[in-house]
């Protein structure tokens, strides 16, 4: 029998600690839409997306009501467009992005991910065309998200792609300069990208996935923070145990929503991503968790260890709660989306270098970081190369979502709005790395890639 205490605990987590299901993402394969004619291809993908996701938003809203738990985002991810559109006879993929945007608007999702290319070992003609279309595609569409995988532990890092992406990020920033370079907030550069990730902007429907699938991302930094407040000052064992227990409960909610959504939509359930993803709301911050753990600010000595503890125990708690845990699962450390991280940057506690160190143990990488608008494309490529190297050598996913805000410099604020938040522009080490980036070619895979 359910007890009053349990009911109160669950509802307190939802009401006061911002427990939510962050996203239901429907992955849709566009493989069967391949065509040589642009018009036919666009019509086919539009039809397939709008038909498959017809009831997605309504179902999400119904579940929200039935269980009384907020489901913040309903989204779609599709087969990387560079693959689905490989046979297209066209120079620009911008019209494809527009078709995706139109489909997303039609079904009412806030983002559609998959304007992507996987080029860790090399670029096909289609990959190159797609990458070159990114700046305009992100400027003329509203809901399309783009990602490029430039490296992996198995194949090394494609430095030609790294060099190109530095330029693409700058162009994207310039094309959306009138809106604080927001285009870059919808563009991720990955190393070891996962194919079942429900989180934007890096979501796409992997080529190993089935026709259509439902992935759910759960999140609850506020719940973890509150639970840790109860054990303040206690030892690390207690700390870890508390995170684990909380992550378990949070993930169970995601499992329930995922199963029910999958049943109602008649689409198989894929994975639960049990990430702690912050929002700009007070009380929904990873940096606040560090503070409860005993650090004055995020970025203080000990932060990397604190993040390692947090990430590991979130995973440990979550795997018990669902048999299919996947995606990026762990703690996200975006700057602009976390008011505690923003404060840490403003107080000088958190630097880009410290964030990079933290990405060795977080679930993704350098995320939503605003940098000066005059940062050179080589410097951006250098930042991408560093981050990709961390991912490649450590067999983990890393990513860069960095925003050179055109016309703004260190210390100024930039406002992206909504879940994307706001951020102070952070200083970047501006010593030249052009000689390194200009070499081109590929960094060979590390020795431990030879596992078979």
Chain residues that interact with another protein, rule: CB under 8 A: 1-2, 4, 6-11, 62, 65-69, 249, 252-253, 255-256, 260
Is residue 56 within 8 Å of 109, Cβ to Cβ? yes
CB of 57 to another protein, least distance (A): 14
Q: Are strands 156-158 and 144-152 parallel, antiparallel or unpaired?
A: antiparallel
Backbone angles phi, psi at 91, to 5 degrees: -90, -25
| Cβ neighbours for 302, distance < 8 A, ≥ 6 positions apart | 294, 295
Which of 361-399 are b and which e, b meaning 16 or more Cβ less than 10 Å from the residue's Cβ? bbbbbbbbbbbbbebbbbbbbbbbbbbbbbbbbbebbbb
Cis peptide before 201 (omega within 30 of 0): yes
Is residue 111 within 8 Å of 145, Cβ to Cβ? yes
Q: Which is nearer to another protein, 245 or 442 (CB)?
A: 245
Q: Which is nearer to another protein, 8 or 36 (CB)?
A: 8
CB of 216 to another protein, least distance (A): 13
Q: Which is nearer to another protein, 48 or 252 (CB)?
A: 252
CB of 62 to another protein, least distance (A): 6
CB of 69 to another protein, least distance (A): 6
Q: Which is nearer to another protein, 78 or 253 (CB)?
A: 253
Beta bridge partners of 401: 367
Answer left, alpha or beta for residue 42, where phi above 0 means left and psi between -120 and 50 means alpha. alpha
What's the CA angle centered on 278, arms 167 and 53, to 5 degrees?
75
d(CA 156, CA 151): 5
Q: Which is nearer to another protein, 10 or 155 (CB)?
A: 10
CB of 4 to another protein, least distance (A): 5
Q: Are strands 442-443 and 366-372 parallel, antiparallel or unpaired?
A: unpaired
d(CA 289, CA 292): 5
CB of 66 to another protein, least distance (A): 5
Gyration radius from the chain CA atoms = 21
Q: Which is nearer to another protein, 257 or 428 (CB)?
A: 257
Beta bridge partners of 402: 369
HSE-CB of 99 using CA atoms within 13 angstroms: 24
**E strand segments, 247-330:** 269-274
CB of 372 to another protein, least distance (A): 46
CB of 21 to another protein, least distance (A): 11
Is residue 386 within 8 Å of 356, Cβ to Cβ? yes
CB of 85 to another protein, least distance (A): 39
Q: Which is nearer to another protein, 68 or 302 (CB)?
A: 68
Q: Which is nearer to another protein, 4 or 447 (CB)?
A: 4
Task: Estimate the share of the chain in helix, then strand, then coil, as percent rounded to the nearest 5.
Answer: 45, 20, 35
Q: Which is nearer to another protein, 30 or 63 (CB)?
A: 63
Q: Which is nearer to another protein, 9 or 142 (CB)?
A: 9
CB of 19 to another protein, least distance (A): 10
């Amino acid at each position: 029998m359910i007890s009053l205490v349990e009911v109160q605990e669950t509802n307190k987590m939802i009401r006061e600690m911002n427990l939510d299901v962050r996203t239901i993402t429907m992955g849709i394969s566009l493989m069967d839409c391949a065509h040589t004619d642009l018009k036919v291809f666009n019509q086919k993908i539009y039809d397939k997306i709008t038909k498959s996701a017809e009831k997605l938003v309504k179902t999400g809203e119904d579940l929200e009501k039935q269980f009384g738990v907020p489901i913040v985002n309903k989204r779609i991810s599709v087969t990387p467009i560079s693959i689905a559109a490989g046979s297209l006879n066209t120079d620009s993929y911008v019209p494809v992005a527009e078709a995706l945007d139109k489909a997303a608007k039609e079904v009412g999702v806030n983002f559609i991910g998959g304007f992507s290319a996987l080029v860790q070992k090399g670029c096909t003609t289609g990959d190159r065309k797609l990458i070159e279309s990114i700046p305009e595609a992100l400027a003329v569409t509203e809901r399309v998200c783009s990602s490029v995988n430039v490296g992996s532990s198995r194949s090394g890092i494609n430095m030609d792609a790294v060099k190109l992406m530095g330029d693409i990020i700058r162009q994207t920033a310039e094309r959306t300069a009138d809106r604080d370079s927001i285009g870059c907030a919808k563009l991720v550069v990955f190393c070891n990208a996962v194919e079942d990730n429900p989180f934007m902007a890096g979501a796409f429907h992997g080529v190993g996935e089935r026709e259509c699938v439902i992935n759910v991302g759960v999140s609850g930094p506020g719940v973890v923070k509150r639970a840790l407040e109860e054990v303040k000052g206690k030892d690390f064992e207690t700390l870890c145990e508390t995170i684990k227990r909380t992550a378990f409960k949070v993930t169970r909610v995601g499992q329930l929503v995922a199963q029910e959504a999958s049943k109602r939509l008649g689409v198989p359930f894929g994975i639960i991503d049990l990430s702690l993803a912050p929002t700009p709301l007070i009380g929904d911050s990873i940096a606040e968790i560090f503070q409860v753990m005993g650090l004055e600010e995020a970025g203080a000595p000990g932060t990397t260890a604190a993040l390692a503890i947090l990430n590991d125990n979130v995973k440990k708690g979550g795997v018990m709660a669902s048999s299919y845990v996947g995606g990026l699962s762990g703690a996200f450390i975006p700057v602009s989306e976390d008011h505690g991280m923003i404060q840490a940057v403003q107080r000088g506690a958190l630097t880009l270098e410290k964030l990079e160190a933290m990405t060795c143990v977080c679930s993704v990488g350098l995320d939503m970081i605003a940098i000066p608008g005059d940062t050179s494309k080589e410097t951006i490529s250098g930042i991408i190369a560093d981050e990709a190297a961390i991912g490649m050598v450590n067999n983990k996913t890393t990513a860069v979502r960095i925003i050179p805000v055109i016309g703004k410099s260190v210390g100024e604020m930039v406002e992206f709005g909504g879940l994307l938040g706001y951020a102070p522009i952070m200083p970047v080490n501006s010593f030249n790395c052009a000689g390194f980036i200009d070499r081109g070619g590929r960094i060979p895979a590390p020795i431990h890639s030879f596992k078979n």
